[in-house]
Amino acid sequence: MRRSLDVIIGVLPRSVLVFTRSRHGASILRVVNIQSPRIVVRRSGPLSGSVNVPGAKNSVLKLMAATLLAEGEYVLTNVPAITDVQKMSETLNALGVTTDWLGPHELHLTNTGNITPEVPFEKFDKMRASLNVLGPLLTHYGSARINWPGGDDFGDRPINLHVEGLQRMGATVDEGLLDIYAHAEQLKGTTIELEIPSVGATENLVTAAVYAKGVTVIDNAAREPEVQDLCNMLVAMGADIEGIGTSRLVVHGVKKGSLRSTRHAVIVDRVQAATYMAAVAVAGGDIMVRGARTEHMEELLNCYARMGVAVTPQRDGVRVTSHERLRAIDFITEPYPGIATDYKPLLVAMLCISRGEGSVTETLFPGRFKYIEEFRRLGASIAIYGNKATVRGVYELIGSEVKVPDIRAGAALVVAGLVASGETTISDIFHIDRGYDDLVGRLSALGADVRRV
């Protein structure tokens, strides 16, 4: 007797196309829905205990790309277990760099010099940080072809600063409909003044400048800790960079091939640290955030203090306590050392249940308010006026079903769920997995009622 045969012939968002041939010989094409993982949160608190903060997503991806600059074996420690690291590993594998895990947070990368400076289309569909292979490939191998990068949808995120900077260094850059091709036999040092202190452009231009002939000066450079982390690794590899941590970076080009591989510890993720601080701020309690560096978060911690959260620096991190209803404040997102745009969804979650009315003005990505509707589903009172959101605090939020629009907003929705009555079900959590190393497990260890289903 003939049996039915199911064959998956295509994949769609949240479903697959299945070709079925029955035992009677009939053929049927079916769409089968796939239930994506979700996070379910119930009212929790007070939180207690300690949490170890993993390495920074916004640093490790650029450090991985930097291994294209020199042959040898690299070891990165404190690497977060996130899907973006896996995707960057796949991108580097396609280029010729091998990657393997030595432990849960220790990544070994080998550059044998057999590099192909063109990345297959399928490797660039989800991650904006993949743009950072452009500078290393161009400066070391003379050309680079990458596809248009992805990343979170914050509205218009042009790459003109990357392109214009490379062109000033002598590169020819062609922007096609599907890809970007850059070519230069030898980049040349020059002075580049960025229109805005773009993190991505600064990182790309610094890596491109290490092998450029002469001196490259980048004015109005980004000062973020993650930029400093990349520069420090490049210096350990043999690069000559002055002004690390300032708005003027001076890169003295070195001879091609003179850089060497290295071992480097990824800095702690300040946004993940801020997430656990926000969790205890709304749910109440007393926790220790191990690894958090207060010098990287001064303006944010000032905001927390103004809202009534006590943050006390300790030898190996910070102690965070919250026992009263939060106070509403006004704040503005700005380039480092100001309030990072990545912190904004967390602060909005805190404002939602604060006493009084507060506001946030977005100066970096005016379109980064797409998550506000999800907070409204939880009962938040938020009004949008251009690039400003006004939040009137409510006594409690109400559990509901919400969808994650981007990485940080996803974490903020989880935080909001800690103070929502009933049950909050969060879908599209693949965004969270891109940037958070076991968010659910770490919150659960602090006493939060949160689970992945």
| Residue 91 near residue 233 (C-beta atoms within 8 A) | no
Asked which of 200, 235, 265 is the last residue of a domain, the reply is 265
CA distance 113 to 306: 52
Q: What predicted TM-score, i.e. pTM, was given to this entire model? A: 0.90
For residue 340, give the nearest of 270, 278, 282 by alpha carbon: 270
Asked whether residue 214 falls in the same domain as residue 299, the answer is: no
Which of the residues 84, 152, 229, 269 is marked catalytic?
A: 152
Cα separation, 180 vs 182, in Å, equals 7
Are residues 352 and 234 part of one domain?
A: no
For this structure, is 156 an active site residue? no
Domain co-membership, 165 together with 305? no
How far is residue 314's CA from residue 308's CA, in Å, rounded to a whole number?
Answer: 19
Question: In this predicted model, what pLDDT tens digit does every residue of 406-451 receive, in sequence order?
Answer: 999 999 999 999 999 999 999 999 999 999 999 999 999 999 999 9
- Top pLDDT among 368 and 331 is at 331
Q: What is the DSSP letter of 216?
A: E
As a whole number of angstroms, the distance between CA 194 and CA 355 comes to 40
Same domain for 438 and 316 = yes
- For residue 263, the cross-strand partners are 75
Q: Are residues 246 and 279 in the same domain?
A: no
**CATH number where 286 lies:** 3.65.10.10
Q: Check whether residue 365 and residue 422 sit in a common domain.
A: yes
Summarize pLDDT for 172-184 with one digit per residue, the tens: 999 988 889 999 9
Residues 141-158 have a mean pLDDT of: 70
Q: Are residues 194 and 310 located together in one domain of the fold?
A: no
Structural domain containing residue 356 = 39-54+269-452
Are residues 232 and 281 both part of a single domain?
A: no
Single residue among 241, 265, 289 that ends a domain in this structure: 265
Domain co-membership, 157 together with 215: yes
Count: domains in the chain: 3
Q: Are residues 142 and 253 in the same domain?
A: yes
Per-residue pLDDT reduced to its tens digit, 26-51: 555 555 556 789 999 999 989 999 99
What is the percentage of the chain residues whose pLDDT exceeds 90? 83
Please provide the DSSP assignment of 262-301 as one string.
Answer: -EEEPPB-HHHHHHHHHHHHHH-EEEEEET--GGG-HHHH
